[in-house]
Amino acid sequence: MAQRIKQHIASERAEEIVELAQAVADEYCPTGKVAPEEISVRKGISLIYDHYGDAFDGVIEHEDGQFYIHCNLDRENALGSPRGRFTVSHELGHYFIDEHRNALASGRVRPHPSFTVDRNRSDLRIEREADLFASNLLMPPARFSAALARARKRLGAIQDLAGKFNVSITCAAIRYVDSEVEPSVMIHRAPDGYVWSRLSKQFEAMNCGRIVNATPQTPADNPSAICRALGEKPSGVIGAKIAASTWFPALSRGRDFQIREEAMTLGRYGVLTLLTLPDSGFPQSVATTNPRSG
Ligand SMILES: [Zn+2]
Cα 66 to averaged position of ligand 1 atoms, centre (Å) = 18
CA of 31 to the centre of ligand 1 (A): 27
33 Cα to the center of ligand 1, angstroms: 23
Residue 128 Cα to ligand 1 midpoint, Å, equals: 8
CA distances 5 to 169, 174, 205, 236, 250, Å, are 18, 11, 16, 26, 19
Report which listed range, 159-173, 185-199, 242-256, 266-280, is most confident.
Answer: 159-173
CA–centroid distance, 213 to ligand 1, in Å, is 27
Q: Is the pLDDT of residue 2 over 60?
A: no
Q: Tens digits of per-residue pLDDT, 6-40?
A: 456 788 999 999 999 999 999 999 999 999 999 99
Report CA(34)–ligand 1 centroid distance (Å): 20
Question: CA angle at residue 71 from 173 to 170, to 5 degrees?
Answer: 10
How many C-alpha atoms does 177 have within 13 Å on its Cβ side? 26
Centroid of ligand 1 to alpha carbon of 268 (angstroms): 24
Is the per-residue pLDDT at 158 higher than 70? yes
pLDDT in tens, 234-289: 889 999 999 999 899 889 878 999 999 999 999 988 999 999 999 754 444 433 33
Instruction: Give the model's pLDDT for residue 218.
Output: 60
Residue 184 near residue 204, CB atoms below 8 Å: no
* pTM: predicted TM-score of the whole model, two decimal places: 0.87
Give the strand pairing for 195-199 and 3-4: parallel
219-233: average pLDDT: 86
Q: How far, in Å, is the centroid of ligand 1 from the Cα of 112?
A: 6
Tell me the DSSP string of 157-213: HHHHHHHHHT--HHHHHHHHHHTTSSSEEEEEE-TTS-EEEEE-HHHHTT---PPPP
CA distance 38 to 28: 8
> From ligand 1's centre to the CA of 197, what distance in Å?
20
Distance from Cα 208 to the centre of ligand 1, integer Å? 32
Q: Residue 222's pLDDT is what?
A: 87
Instruction: Please tell me the distance between residue 235's alpha carbon and the centre of ligand 1 in angstroms.
Output: 32
Predicted local distance difference test score (pLDDT) of residue 294:
30
* 160 alpha carbon – ligand 1 mean position (Å): 27
If you average pLDDT over residues 95-118, what whole number do you get? 82
- Percent above pLDDT 90 for the chain: 66
> Per mean pLDDT, which of 5-19, 116-130, 161-175, 181-195 is the most reliable?
161-175
Q: What is the whole-number distance in angstroms between the Cα of residue 40 and the centre of ligand 1? A: 15
Please state, in angstroms and rounded to a whole number, the distance separating the CA atoms of residues 14 and 222. 36
In this model, does residue 92 exceed pLDDT 80?
yes
Mean pLDDT check: name the lowest of 60-74, 99-113, 122-136, 193-207.
99-113
* pLDDT over 70 (residue 121): no
- Terminal-to-terminal C-alpha distance of the chain: 34
Separation of CA 26 from chain center: 22
Predicted local distance difference test score (pLDDT) of residue 217: 54
